[in-house]
Amino acid sequence: MKIHASLPIADGICFDDTAEMEPRSINALAACGVVFLTKFQTAGGKIYGGVIIAAHMDAAQAAADRRGLGETVLGPLAVAGVA
């Protein structure tokens, strides 16, 4: 698997749906419960984190599966500043 040196891209596939978004926009989406964190591991054992915007957890996992990177959805992103 080839990971881009400075962008969230693996084998030509973006693994962060929020890569070009402002933190304020990401927080607004997270408050709606539609931002999900993922992880995947390269053959060399390095672990990477990703982000998927989806309506619910099952939809997020389906999107992760379509990416073909072996991602697992960990859960929703918590809104910054909220305990």
Give the whole-angstrom CA distance, residue 31 versus residue 20. Answer: 18
Instruction: Please give the pLDDT value at position 80.
Output: 66
| 24 three-state secondary structure | helix
Residues of the chain with pLDDT under 70: 80-83
User: How do 47-53 and 72-76 pair as beta strands?
Assistant: unpaired
Q: Which two structure tokens, joined as six digits, stand for 64?
A: 């992760």
Mean predicted lDDT score pLDDT of the chain: 94
SS3 content of the chain, % helix, strand, coil (to 5): 25, 30, 45
| 41 three-state secondary structure | strand
